[in-house]
Structure 1
Amino acid sequence: NGRFDIKIISFNRTKDSEDMRMYTQPVLYPNKKEMCCDQNDSDFVVATYWTTAYYVSEMIKNNLKTIPLYFIQDYESWFYPESDKKTGFKILNTYDLIKNKIVYSEWLKQKISRHSNNVIKITPGINLDIFYPRGIKSKRVKRILGMARPSTPRRGFDNMIKALKIIKEEHPYLEIAFFGPDDLKKYKIPFKYKNYGLLKEDALTKLYSSSDIFVEASLFHGLGLTGMEAMACGTACVLTDSGGPSEYAINNENAILVQPGDTQQMVNAISFLIKDDLARERLRQNGLETMNRYPIRNTAVEFEKILWSFI
C-alpha cells in the first residue's frame, strides 16, 4: 500500500527467485557480514527460517532502532533426526533470540509456545487473484494430483505412492499426476504417471483446476499451503491431519483428513471420492467457500497492524 518499503535480502543465492515465488527480486550480498551490516536504516527485520534468526540477531546487536521479528513457518526442529541434538538445540535457541514471533496456525503457535512466549498468530491467506477455478475440468478420465517431494521425508512421499498404487490397481483408468521440484525418474514408482515438475503459479493453478482430487501426505505441516491452493482452485482434497491444515480444513466438510502415515485411510478416502461424485462436488464447493475467507490482503492487513503496534 506504499506505507512500507519492503526488500528481501539474502546472500549466496542458490535458487531462482521465480522458483521461490518471490514477487520482487531479492537484494543479494556477497557475504553474511555485509548483509548484516547494511540494515541499520531498517525499521524492521524479519527472520523467516531458523538459520536467518541468527543473522537477524547479529543485525540488531548494536542497533537499538531496528525491531526484529521472527516469522516461523514450521516446527523446524522436526526437520532433523531426533539424534541430531546439536541442530535441535540451535533451533530451540532461536525462539529466545527474537522476542516477537509470528505464525500462521494455532497448531504451530502451541508448539512454539512450549518453548517461548510472545507468539502471535495471524490468519493465513493466499492470492485469490491467482488461485481460482479456471473452468477447465472435462468429462475425461478422473485425475488425481499429488505434490511429490521425495527428497524431503516429512512430505510423506512413500506413503502416498503406496496408497496410489492400490488406487491405480482398483481404478486402472485413472490418471495420476504429480508436481514438485524433484526429478521422479530416479524413484521406483510402480504405476504410470505424469510429472509436471516445478510449475509457475499460472500453470500450477491450471493443473489444480483440471484435477478432480488433490492428495497431500505430509507427516506434519506448519500450515499446508498446497491444500489451500487446491481448494481455492475447486479441487476436492484428501489431506493429512498433520497440524497446520486443521487451520482451514474440516474433515468431511471441505476436505477429507486422514492420519499421517496411514496408507489404508488414504486409500479409503481417495476411493470414496472417486466413486461418489456428489460427495466430491460437495467438498469442492465447500472448499471454494472456505478459501474465499482467506484472501492474502487480509493477512497483509493483520501483519501491518502488528508492525504499527511496535512503533
Structure 2
Amino acid sequence: MTCDVLIPFQENLSCLMDSIESIHHTHSDVRIHVYDTKGYLAELKLFREFAQTYSVQLFESKAPVCFDSWLKQHLAVTESDELVLIPEDTLVPESWLERFCEAAQGEKRWVTPLTSSKSPYSISLLPGHNVHTMDELIQRFSRKLFPLCGKHTGSVLYINLADLNRRQFSSLCGKLPEQPLLSILERMNYKGVLADHLYISHSSAGIKQDSLLAVDRKQKPVLLKSLLHTSSAAWQILFPSKEPAVKWALKEWARKMKKALLQRKTSEMSSLLTRDFLDCFYHKRDSISPLLQKQMTHRNRMSVVYIVSRLAISGGVFSILQLVNQLTLLGVDARIYYMDESHEFQSWNRYSTPVHFKNERDLVSNFPPVDVVVATHWSTVRFARSLMDAGVAKTAAYFIQDYEKWFYPEEDVKTRDAVAASYSFIPHRIVKSDWLRNLLSADGIESTKISFGLDRGIYHPRPVAKHRRPVLLAMVRPNTPRRGFNNVIETFERVWSMVPEATFVLFGYDYLSGYSIPFPFTNAGVISNLHELAQLYSQADLFFEGSDFQGFGRLTLEAMACKTGCVLTNVGGVNEYAVHQKNCLLVPPQSPQKAAKAIVSLLQDPSWREQLANEALITASRYDHKKEAAATRNFFCGIL
C-alpha cells in the first residue's frame, strides 16, 4: 500500500514543517506533496533544505490554479492506493493512517476524523492534553461506529483509491470542471464516513471551517450517537457532575438544544452536540478537577510542566510556548500551567492546551505527579520548590530568561534580595546567554546555558514591497522602564530632524496617544499575530532596539532573521550574536545622540545597510528552535 499526503501551504511555514515532521515520525514511507499557494517556498533556503531532508515534493503554481483543480489532477495521475489531504497546521497521533484504513474498510470511501478544528466533528482539546493524550482518550471511549456522513466538511480528508477508476474520474472532471472533488467521487459511488476512533489536532487558532453537518439522513442518528458517546463518556468520567458551574452550563445547553430542535436548525444542532456540549464542562470552570489531573500524564513519556504566572503577549512567554510545542513534537509530555492570561495569547499556535488554576492554593493542591516542574519567573520559584519537596515533582528547574533583580529599582532592596535568594531555591537553572550565566556566577549561582532557538518558519524574509520612504521600526513599552521608552522616542526625534521623509512605526503598546511623541508615527500596537510581526520586520529598512539591558534580545534576532538592518544597545545577552559593524551597529544605552547618528549613517548608505542585513540573516540562521528543544530535553533527561 502506498500513500500520498497532500498539504496546501497558506502562510504558516512553521506549522507546515512541524506537520511534516509529525507525519514523518509516524509514517516515514508516505509521499508528501506540498502545494505552494503563495509561490515563494522554493526561494527559501530554509524550506529547500527541509524538503530535501524529508523527501517533500513541492508543487509551485506558475499560473493561478485553485487547489481543488490541482487535487483532481493529482488523483488522475497518482498510482498510490491512498490519499490524505491535510492542512498545514495538522499534528497526527500514532497509527493514524492504519485507523483511516480501518474506517474505509476497503470500500469506496472518503474518511474524516474527529478533530480540534471548528468543524462538525470537532472535540476541543482537554486542558493539559495534546494530540497524543487526547487521541488515547478518544480510542478508549470510541465504539467504532464509523457513521456515514455527507460531503466532507472537516479539515482532514482520507480517500481510498484502491478501486478508483482513473479513466472515468478524468472523464468526469473534464465534463464537470466546476464540480467539487467530492461531488465527482459521489457520482462514482463513493461515500463519506467518520473515523470516530481517531483524533487529529490543529495548532493554529481561529481555523475557519464550514459548520454545516452534511450527513446522510438515515445515518444522522448513528453519527450523533457516536459523537455524543465518545465525547460525553470521556468528559463525564473526567469531571464531577456536581460542580455548580457545570450544572448551570448544562441547563443552558439543554435550553439552546431544545430551541434548535424545535426550529430544526441542523448547523446549530451540530455545534451544540459537539463543541458547545464539551464547553459546558471546562470553559465555565475556574479550574480542573484532581481526577482530570491523573488522566493527563502520558504513562510512557517524560512529563514536564512550566509554571507561568500570567500568559501574556511577550517574548518570554512565547519562548516558553515555543519550547513546550517543540518538546511535544519530540515525544515529551510538556504542558503549561498558569493562573492568569491575556486574551491575545489565544492567537498563538499551541500543540497542547494550557491548564488554568484559579489561585496558588489550587495550583499546589491539584498539581499532578510530574518528572520535572519548571519555574519561569522568580515569583513561581516557591511553587516549584514546594512541589519538589512534597514529592509531586521528581526534580525542579528554573528557566531564567533575564537578570530579574535588575527589574526593580536599586532602592527596592527587599525585592532585589528576594529575587537573588530565589536563584538558589531550585537545584537546576537554565539560561540563554553567557552574559546572564556570568552575572549569576558572580552571585555564586551555577547555571547551564542552552542556546536560544528562533523559529525561522515564522521569522524569515517575506516577499513585501519596500516603501519609497525609509521605514524605521521600534518596539516600545512605556510601563517597563528597562525597555528604554524615552531613549527610543528621543532617538527617533533626532532622526526625524535629520531625515524628515522617514516613516516611523512603533509597536508593543496600544495606548500611545496618551504620550507626548514629537514626530509623526504609526502605532501598530500589540501584535499577537507573529506572522504579521514578521511582515512588519520585512517591510522595515531598520529596526532599533533601545533597551537598557536584555537577557538575550530576541526581538533583534527576529528582525535579523527577516533581513532587516539593526541598531541596538550593547548591554546584555545581545552580545551573544550582535557584532558591531559586522551584522549590526551597537550603541550605549540611554545615548539617543549616538543611536540617531548610527541610524542616519545606515539610511544614507544603503549598500552598507544591505551588507549588514545579509550578515544578520546568516547570523540568525544559526539559532534553531528545534535544536534548543532537543538540548532542553537532553538536559531534563540528565537531571532525572
TM-score normalised to the size of structure 2?
0.47
1:274 aligns with 2:571: no
1:178 aligned counterpart, secondary structure: strand
Partner of 1:292: 621
Partner of 1:305: 634
Partner of 2:439: 111
- Provide the rounded CA distance (Å) in 2 between the counterparts of 1:310 and 1:262: 44
Partner of 1:234: 563
- Does the 8 A contact of 1:99 with 1:118 survive in 2? no
- Does the 8 A contact of 1:48 with 1:71 survive in 2? yes
Partner of 2:536: 207
- Provide the rounded CA distance (Å) in 1 between the counterparts of 2:604 and 2:330: 50
- Provide the rounded CA distance (Å) in 2 between the counterparts of 1:119 and 1:286: 30
**Could you give the per-residue CA deviations for residues 50-71 of structure 1, whole angstroms, max 9, x where no partner exists?**
1011111121121175210000
- Provide the rounded CA distance (Å) in 1 between the counterparts of 2:467 and 2:546: 27
Residue of structure 2 aligned with 1:192, choices 520, 539, 547: 520
Between Structure 1 and Structure 2, the one with more helix by share is 2
Count of aligned pairs between the two proteins: 310
- Provide the rounded CA distance (Å) in 2 between the counterparts of 1:130 and 1:37: 38
1:15 aligns with 2:363: no
1:173 aligns with 2:501: yes
- Does the 8 A contact of 1:148 with 1:182 survive in 2? no
Query: For residue 15 of structure 1, what is the amino acid of its counterpart?
Result: S
- Alpha carbons of 1:17 and 1:34: their partners in 2 closer, same or farther (altered >3 Å)? farther
- Does the 8 A contact of 1:40 with 1:59 survive in 2? no
Query: For residue 259 of structure 1, what is the amino acid of its counterpart?
Result: P
Partner of 1:87: 415
Deviation at 1:181, TM superposition (A): 2.9
Partner of 2:359: 31
Deviation at 1:95, TM superposition (A): 0.8
Residue of structure 1 aligned with 2:470, choices 139, 142, 148: 142
- Provide the rounded CA distance (Å) in 2 between the counterparts of 1:48 and 1:182: 26
Task: Give the share of equivalent positions with the same residue, in percent.
Answer: 35
- Does the 8 A contact of 2:336 with 2:354 survive in 1? yes
1:220 aligns with 2:549: yes
Query: For residue 412 of structure 2, what is the amino acid of its counterpart?
Result: D
1:151 aligns with 2:479: yes
- Does the 8 A contact of 2:387 with 2:393 survive in 1? no
- Does the 8 A contact of 2:454 with 2:625 survive in 1? yes
- Provide the rounded CA distance (Å) in 1 between the counterparts of 2:476 and 2:419: 26
Query: For residue 44 of structure 1, what is the amino acid of its counterpart?
Result: V
1:44 aligned counterpart, secondary structure: strand
**Could you give the per-residue CA deviations for residues 221-245 of structure 1, whole angstroms, max 9, x where no partner exists?**
0001100100001100001002110
**Could you give the per-residue CA deviations for residues 151-209 of structure 1, whole angstroms, max 9, x where no partner exists?**
11111110111111111011111000011034111110001000001111011010000
- Provide the rounded CA distance (Å) in 2 between the counterparts of 1:4 and 1:106: 27
1:246 aligns with 2:575: yes
The aligned runs of 1:37-52 (5 Å cut-off) are 37-52=365-380
2:560 aligned counterpart, secondary structure: helix
Partner of 2:426: 98
- Does the 8 A contact of 2:437 with 2:446 survive in 1? no
- Does the 8 A contact of 1:40 with 1:63 survive in 2? no
Deviation at 1:16, TM superposition (A): 2.6
- Provide the rounded CA distance (Å) in 2 between the counterparts of 1:176 and 1:19: 29
Query: For residue 539 of structure 2, what is the amino acid of its counterpart?
Result: S
- Provide the rounded CA distance (Å) in 1 between the counterparts of 2:346 and 2:571: 25
- Does the 8 A contact of 2:541 with 2:565 survive in 1? yes
Q: Structure 1 runs of 4+ off > 4 angstroms?
A: 19-22
- Provide the rounded CA distance (Å) in 2 between the counterparts of 1:269 and 1:169: 14
- Provide the rounded CA distance (Å) in 2 between the counterparts of 1:108 and 1:20: 31
1:263 aligns with 2:592: yes
- Provide the rounded CA distance (Å) in 2 between the counterparts of 1:19 and 1:169: 40
Structure number with the bigger relative contact order (C-alpha 8 A, sep ≥ 6) is: 1
Provide the aligned C-alpha RMSD in A.
1.5
- Provide the rounded CA distance (Å) in 2 between the counterparts of 1:302 and 1:255: 28
Larger Rg: 2
**Could you give the per-residue CA deviations for residues 74-110 of structure 1, whole angstroms, max 9, x where no partner exists?**
1111111111111111101111100111000000001
- Provide the rounded CA distance (Å) in 1 between the counterparts of 2:510 and 2:403: 22
- Provide the rounded CA distance (Å) in 1 between the counterparts of 2:462 and 2:603: 21
1:251 aligned counterpart, secondary structure: coil
Query: For residue 94 of structure 1, what is the amino acid of its counterpart?
Result: S
- Provide the rounded CA distance (Å) in 1 between the counterparts of 2:445 and 2:486: 36
Query: For residue 162 of structure 1, what is the amino acid of its counterpart?
Result: E
Structure 2 spans left out of the alignment, 5+ residues: 1-328
- Does the 8 A contact of 2:368 with 2:392 survive in 1? no
- Alpha carbons of 1:29 and 1:22: their partners in 2 closer, same or farther (altered >3 Å)? farther
1:63 aligns with 2:391: yes
1:234 aligned counterpart, secondary structure: coil
